[in-house]
Amino acid sequence: MSSRGGSSVSSGRLQTSVLGINASLDEMMNIGGAFACALVDFEGGMTLGARTRRSDFDIELAASGNTNVVRAKMMVMDALGIAGGIDDMLITLGAQYHLIRPLRRHDGLFLYLAIDRDRGNLGMARHQLSMIEAQLAI
């Protein structure tokens, strides 16, 4: 994983990259099949950063709309008394996967990734998104 825009922190044999918002978005766009991504504040509904490769996909609208999805799921979990957090949420469309990953270390924020089903690998995308989350410094 590249540390563009970030700094490397070395701890013995383990080296961890620290990524800022822009570098994290760039890394998300490097995920196979990715065509849009964002970092979103679901409490305020504001997009903190976004990228897209498709002029026909309004990433700002998609990110804002998904704040309602995250809020609704969290309210249902609370009402049901389900402890713990959400690892990720998946919306499967005919030709696309949309991944939403609430951030555990940054309450109220989520990563949003849209990938082309024919060009991407869902399992790898989920894994890479979790790695990006672990390196994100806000």
Confidence of residue 106 (pLDDT cuts 50, 70, 90): confident
CA distance 23 to 26: 5
**What's the rounded mean pLDDT across residues 63-80?**
93
- pLDDT value at position 83? 86
Q: What is the reported pLDDT for 91?
A: 96
In angstroms, rounded to a whole number, what is the distance separating the alpha carbons of residues 62 and 52? 11
The model's confidence at residue 14, banded by pLDDT at 50, 70 and 90, is very low
Q: Indicate the pairing of strand 96-102 with strand 109-116.
A: antiparallel
pLDDT tens digit sequence for 16-25: 577 799 999 9
Q: Which domains does the chain have, with CATH numbers?
A: 7-135 (3.30.450.30)
For a pLDDT cut of 90, what percent of the chain falls above it?
73
87, pLDDT greater than 70:
yes
E-strand stretches of the chain: 7-11, 14-18, 34-41, 46-52, 89-92, 96-102, 109-116
23-45 residues labelled b (16+ CB within 10 A) or e (exposed): bbbbbbeebebbbbbbbbebeee
Residue type at 18?
V
Arithmetic mean of pLDDT over the chain? 87
CA-nearest of 119, 106, 95, 109 to 39 is: 109
**Residue with structure tokens 């990524």?**
19
**Residue pLDDT, tens place only, 28-68:** 999 999 999 999 999 888 999 999 999 999 999 999 999 99
Predicted confidence band of residue 105 (pLDDT cuts 50, 70, 90):
confident
